[in-house]
């Protein structure tokens, strides 16, 4: 290495693409410039001592709902990304179901403008795929800062709901980037809603939104995407049957799973948490959870996403099924999954792939997802032996709660580095928001975009 570094992370166990190694990492100009035994002579403006810690690539959470604009009593881009860096997340993809929904170039620009001022981490925003903009999606998906197209086959309303087959075909035909989808069958959900209304009991949530509701929609969209020759990303898969089906459609179809579907199970979570455990698709019985873990072990799953989707406690307190579905998750994604590593359910290497390298590979993110020379210096330093208690009081989200309140986990993020700048140390954010739009390999770089 020649020249001084801006940042030197010294003496940690580094998770590189070639395996773990004790090494120093030198960063300059926002990127990694050297990895190895760089010695005491390596000059750097800032030195972070990482002895006793593991250094992982910054987490890429490709499914968050930050509610801004329009629903800022629940969350904001500023609060959501603050929680992200507190949890070791350095990149987020935000969903289009805001008010107004993200359907046009102007909608996307409005979010990017807010993020330029308030975002603590790097970011991209999905465009919603809908009847209203189906013919324009091929252009919209290539705008700088766009994560791609997101389609709601169920669990949405107004312009964002796309459950009609003709509309789905138009959306799939317009564009070439991998399309993300929420796959629940809207017709079946409407037909079965009476189950939830008659019971008025959140424990019936996974009965109303049964496994067949998810499987019907997943089979349908996979078939339509194959006809269109379109790459597909199925979000928050929740059933063992879907995983068995999706295993036969790799790699054209990529698969996401969430920490809550891997950690919680019915009926226990509903009895303990009530509507705080209410999500779409639902947290299901332990047999489905084990089916998801099997898919993780067998390589069917590509990506971990939090599906961070906060609501206020007052909203969650409404009588079921009027209570909204969603929970916080971006800040707890890594601690919860590190606890699974400590319990032996997955290796640290597999976690790194699911939480960093996998999203970068699936979505074609430029310069992120691995610790390697030339890549963005996005890092999270974790203490694999630390035992910490997750608490509502520490959650940065405006919602102010987590379904994991009171859970003691083993493994904790102690520092977050974004493009060579320390933005979190020991539970405190540092400096000012400095997030930038994500660059994608298949999206033309605008003249004003950072190199």
Among 6, 107, 265, 307, the active-site one is 307
Q: How far apart are CA 155 and CA 281, in angstroms?
A: 9
Q: How far apart are CA 2 and CA 373, in angstroms?
A: 13
How many Cα atoms are found within 13 Å in the side-chain-facing hemisphere of 87? 31
Q: How far apart are CA 168 and CA 153, in angstroms?
A: 9
**In degrees rounded to 5, what are phi and psi of residue 30?**
90, 0
Of 234, 218, 225, 325, nearest to 275 by C-alpha is 325
Of 375, 368, 356, 366, nearest to 32 by C-alpha is 375
Q: How far apart are CA 186 and CA 156, in angstroms?
A: 9
Please say if 307 is a catalytic residue.
yes
Residue 333 C-alpha from the chain's centroid: 8
The answer to whether the CB of 28 falls within 8 A of the CB of 37 is no
The answer to whether the CB of 152 falls within 8 A of the CB of 162 is yes
Tell me how crowded residue 313 is: count the other CB atoms within 10 A of its CB: 12
Looking at the annotation, which residues are catalytic? 307
């Amino acid at each position: 290495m020649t020249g001084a570094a801006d940042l030197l992370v010294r003496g940690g166990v580094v998770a590189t693409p070639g395996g773990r190694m004790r090494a120093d990492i030198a960063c300059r100009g926002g990127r990694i410039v050297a990895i190895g035994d760089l010695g005491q002579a390596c000059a750097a403006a800032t030195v972070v001592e990482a002895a006793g810690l593991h250094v992982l690539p910054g987490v890429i959470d490709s499914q968050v709902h930050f509610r801004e604009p329009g629903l800022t009593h629940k969350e904001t881009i500023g609060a959501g990304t603050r929680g992200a860096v507190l949890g070791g997340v350095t990149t987020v993809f935000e969903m289009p179901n805001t008010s107004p929904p993200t359907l046009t170039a102007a909608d996307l620009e409005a979010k990017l403008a807010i993020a330029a001022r308030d975002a603590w981490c790097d970011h991209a925003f999905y465009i919603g795929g809908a009847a209203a903009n189906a013919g324009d999606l091929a252009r919209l998906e290539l705008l700088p800062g766009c994560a791609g197209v997101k389609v709601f086959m169920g669990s949405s309303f107004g312009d964002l709901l796309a459950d009609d087959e003709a509309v789905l075909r138009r959306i799939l035909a317009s564009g070439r980037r991998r399309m993300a989808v929420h796959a629940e069958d809207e017709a079946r959900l409407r037909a079965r809603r009476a189950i939830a209304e008659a019971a008025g009991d959140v424990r019936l949530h996974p009965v109303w939104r049964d496994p067949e509701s998810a499987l019907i929609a997943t089979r349908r969209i996979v078939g339509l995407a194959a006809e269109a020759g379109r790459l597909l990303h199925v979000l928050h898969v929740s059933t063992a049957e879907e995983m068995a089906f999706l295993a036969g459609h790799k790699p054209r179809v990529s698969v996401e799973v969430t920490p809550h579907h891997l950690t919680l199970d019915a009926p226990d979570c509903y009895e303990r948490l009530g509507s705080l455990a209410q999500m779409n698709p639902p947290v299901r019985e332990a047999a489905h959870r084990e089916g998801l873990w099997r898919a993780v072990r067998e390589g069917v799953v590509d990506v971990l996403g939090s599906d961070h989707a906060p609501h206020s406690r007052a909203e969650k307190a409404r009588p079921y099924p009027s209570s909204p579905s969603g929970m916080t998750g971006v800040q707890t994604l890594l601690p919860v999954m590190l606890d699974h590593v400590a319990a032996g359910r997955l290796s640290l290497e597999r976690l790194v792939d699911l939480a960093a390298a996998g999203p970068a590979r699936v979505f074609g993110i430029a310069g992120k997802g691995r610790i390697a020379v030339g890549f963005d210096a996005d890092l999270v330093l974790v203490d694999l032996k630390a035992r910490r208690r997750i608490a509502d009081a520490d959650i940065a989200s405006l919602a102010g709660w987590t379904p994991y309140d009171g859970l003691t986990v083993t493994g904790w993020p102690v520092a977050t580095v974004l493009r060579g700048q320390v933005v979190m140390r020991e539970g405190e954010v540092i400096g000012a928001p400095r997030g930038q739009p994500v660059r994608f390999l298949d999206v033309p770089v605008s003249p004003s975009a950072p190199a």
